[in-house]
């Protein structure tokens, strides 16, 4: 496994880093294990102070850090700066709220005396992170767990070595003990051995179904706790025509977030037949307004796909749909020249025999479906193997809430899409994963919820 930066806008190899040796992996595990023994005893207020400094350093170094991920995975500069702001806010949220979220929980009990639950750290954790949000995804995992008192071994995506090293340096500069957060350029085989090692207490993965399944199987074999944030094919349900142009623009923005490379991006537009034609016209027009190009140019609306392989994978899915009878309303092609650029694409007539029906489309491509009404919308939305998030639009909020309640997903937005914040739990169900990140639930995953009891005084 090569850790290298191949700029997806140009296709050029810019840097390369060696994979860790087995001896280095062993040393990392020992450091994280020993570091846990001291970090867990560090006062909460000291941990919070370090996380505040981490948050500030993300803001201070925003331009430098943004440029790194633009080279690594093609994110446009504006979006990269937005990601850094969100990551900073996550560290600040747990610094400011962690102590309260970790406070003892008193229990009513018939036993004489006092009983309560105390949340304690469990040890060194392995984080396996993806390329699409290199800073934000790490923040979701690292911030709550460092606040708890766990230590972190971080294995980033092979195309994100420079952002991985930059994050490790931020923790050092913020005053975090060196053994509390350790970056490692590990191979898949080394990851499997780390999961099996007793010094690793739990594993968090954000990535593909395939990666999540492999890690979950290994973790289960060794009785390790896992949090899995995997793929998504979020429905965007439109039930009536209230302010349809604005709804269509929201749908396009939700689809084109991060160039379409977001697990919780709206990917399936499910539209009631009474407004379908008008929505399709407005949505196609909104999608056509997104212009790609140099990700450092402020005029660029979305960047290249993350890699040449990613572009090839998306095109194979689109070509399969067209070959089997889908209608292309917009796009459907790669752009000429170097780089992994794909046109904004809108399909309809997608049927279950097509890859685009059941697979996640990770790029600037949307599928629009026509349905008779709310019941058919729910049935189609729930037919997906994924269950991450979804959006429901209706002028009747009670109708929208009823539909939202029937969706088999972990998150639903009513008359909006993809809103988020450090205080809001993130995660899904079905093949979108298990567990939650962010908010009060995110700090509750890798903790020992220890029952404590004392007898009556006297």
For residue 436, count CB atoms less than 10 angstroms from its CB and return exposed for 0-12, middle for 13-18, buried for 19 or more: buried
What are the angstrom distances between the C-alpha of 194 and each of 93, 121, 209, 356? 30, 19, 20, 35
Phi, psi of 120, deg, nearest 5: -120, 155
CB distance 342 to 365 below 8 Å: yes
- Return the structure tokens found at 435: 């567990």
SS (H, E, C) 117-151: EEEEECCEEEEECCCCCCCHHHHHHHHHHHHHCCE
The Cα–Cα gap between 375 and 381 comes to 10
Which position among 229, 359, 360, 437 bears the catalytic label? 229
DSSP state for residue 61 in the 8-state scheme: T
What are the angstrom distances between the C-alpha of 378 and each of 3, 139, 236, 357, 432? 42, 33, 11, 15, 18
The Cα–Cα gap between 191 and 447 comes to 22
Q: Hey, is 337 helix, strand or coil?
A: coil
The Cα–Cα gap between 329 and 410 comes to 31
Any residues with CB less than 8 A from the CB of 38 and at least 6 apart, and which? 177
- Return the structure tokens found at 254: 């939700």
What are the angstrom distances between the C-alpha of 21 and each of 28, 32, 180, 189, 200? 11, 17, 20, 11, 18
Which position among 83, 160, 162, 263 bears the catalytic label? 263
**343: closest CA among 355, 334, 352?**
334
Phi, psi of 445, deg, nearest 5: -80, -55
CB distance 80 to 93 below 8 Å: no
Please state, as a whole number, how many other Cβ atoms lie within 10 Å of the Cβ of residue 56: 15
Tracing tokens 């697979």 back to the chain, one arrives at: 359
Establish whether 229 is a catalytic residue.
yes
List active site positions.
Answer: 229, 263
């Amino acid at each position: 496994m090569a850790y290298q930066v191949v700029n997806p806008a140009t296709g050029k190899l810019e840097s390369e880093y060696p994979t860790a040796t087995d001896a280095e992996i062993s040393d990392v595990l020992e450091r994280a294990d020993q570091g846990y023994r001291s970090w867990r005893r560090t006062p909460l207020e000291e941990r919070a102070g370090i996380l505040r400094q981490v948050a500030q350093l993300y803001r201070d170094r925003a331009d430098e850090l943004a440029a790194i991920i633009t080279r690594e995975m093609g994110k446009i500069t504006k979006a990269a700066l937005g990601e850094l702001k969100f990551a900073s806010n996550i560290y600040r949220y747990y610094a400011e709220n962690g102590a309260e979220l970790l406070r003892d929980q008193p229990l009513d009990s018939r036993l004489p005396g006092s009983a309560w639950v105390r949340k304690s750290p469990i040890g060194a954790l392995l984080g396996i992170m993806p390329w699409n949000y290199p800073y934000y995804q790490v923040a979701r995992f690292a911030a709550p767990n460092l606040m708890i008192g766990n230590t972190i071994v971080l294995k980033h995506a092979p195309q994100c070595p420079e952002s991985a090293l930059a994050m490790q340096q931020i923790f050092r500069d913020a005053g975090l003990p060196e053994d509390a957060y350790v970056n490692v350029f590990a191979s898949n085989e080394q990851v499997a051995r780390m999961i099996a090692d007793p010094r690793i207490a739990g594993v968090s993965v954000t990535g593909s179904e395939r990666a999540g399944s492999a890690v979950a199987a290994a973790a289960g074999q060794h009785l390790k706790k896992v949090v899995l944030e995997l793929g998504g094919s979020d429905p965007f349900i439109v039930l009536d025509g209230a302010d349809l142009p604005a709804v269509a623009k929201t749908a396009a923005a939700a689809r084109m977030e991060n160039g379409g490379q977001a697990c919780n991006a709206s990917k399936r537009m499910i539209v009631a037949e009474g407004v379908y034609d008008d929505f399709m016209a407005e949505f196609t027009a909104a999608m056509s307004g997104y212009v790609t190009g140099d990700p450092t140019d402020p005029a660029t609306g979305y960047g290249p796909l993350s890699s040449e392989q990613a572009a090839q994978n998306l095109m194979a899915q689109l070509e399969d749909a067209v070959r089997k009878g889908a209608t292309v309303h917009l796009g459907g092609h790669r752009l000429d020249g170097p780089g992994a650029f794909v046109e904004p694409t809108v399909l309809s007539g997608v049927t279950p025999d097509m890859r685009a029906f059941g697979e996640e489309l990770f790029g600037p491509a949307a599928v629009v479906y026509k349905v008779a009404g709310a019941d058919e919308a729910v049935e189609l939305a729930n037919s997906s193997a994924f269950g991450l998030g979804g959006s429901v639009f209706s002028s009747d909020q009670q109708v929208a809430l009823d539909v939202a309640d029937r969706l088999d997903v972990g998150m639903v937005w009513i008359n909006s899409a993809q809103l988020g914040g450090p205080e809001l739990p993130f995660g899904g169900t079905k093949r979108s994963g298990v567990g939650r990140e962010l908010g009060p639930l995110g700090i509750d995953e890798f903790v020992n919820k220890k029952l404590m009891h004392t007898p009556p005084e006297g």
